[in-house]
Amino acid sequence: MSIIICKFCKSENDAENERCFSCNAPLPKTSVLSEKAKEHLSNYINSIEKRLKAEMKKADMPLFISFMLITLIWIFVSFISYKSFPEDTTIIVILAVVLGLGLFIAWGGLIKHFEHKAAEKAFDPKIKTEINAYLKEMNISGPSFKMLASEILSAKSSLLKFLDDLQ
Ligand SMILES: [Zn+2]
């Protein structure tokens, strides 16, 4: 059991207390987790993040197929423009470059979309249910979990995007 010192009266309190037993001042919420619980929770959060990353790999196949389709569209439209303006190579080149750029940007959006969908599919309801059961068993609140997760994961983490609807 971990101890927290009240910053007002310097009494030693059980870290699970919400208020100081001596002066009744509120104790900081972050102290709810002991160091050992924090370490256990950190390992758990990292393992969930790894699982979501692995799930995102499932998007590789649809991404590969859409890449092929995009390339075919680009070749097809470039070919049509070549047929339409056989004399004017400038128009053909400009069309091909502009279309290529547009498709490249769309491709970036597709990667994000497919990877997010794959992670979302794994998270809800399976991983979400597991996390809720884990938090209940460990007696940790959703907000404490989110706070620690945002401390140890990078802002680009896939898990952080899904934590808003935890209990
Ligand atoms: Zn106190």
Query: pLDDT tens, 36-45?
Result: 888 888 999 9
User: How many angstroms does the Cα of residue 144 sit away from the middle of ligand 1?
Assistant: 23
Spatial CA neighbour of 166 closest among 138, 129, 121: 129
For the chain, how many structural domains are there in total? 2
User: How many angstroms does the Cα of residue 15 sit away from the middle of ligand 1?
Assistant: 13
Provide the whole-model pTM: 0.65
Where residue 154 falls (left for φ over 0; alpha for ψ -120 to 50; beta otherwise) is beta
The answer to whether residue 112 scores a pLDDT higher than 70 is yes
The reported pLDDT for the residue numbered 18 is 85
User: How many angstroms does the Cα of residue 2 sit away from the middle of ligand 1?
Assistant: 16
Query: pLDDT tens, 146-160?
Result: 888 888 888 788 888
- Residues 15, 70, single domain; the answer is no
User: In which domain, by residue range, is 121 found?
Assistant: 37-165
- Residues 11, 78, single domain; the answer is no
The answer to whether residue 27 scores a pLDDT higher than 50 is yes
- Residues 9, 60, single domain; the answer is no
The reported pLDDT for the residue numbered 31 is 47
d(CA 76, CA 95): 12
- Residues 13, 58, single domain; the answer is no
Q: How far is CA 94 from CA 82, 83, 90, 99, 100, in A?
A: 11, 15, 6, 8, 10
User: How many angstroms does the Cα of residue 17 sit away from the middle of ligand 1?
Assistant: 11
- Residues 97, 150, single domain; the answer is yes
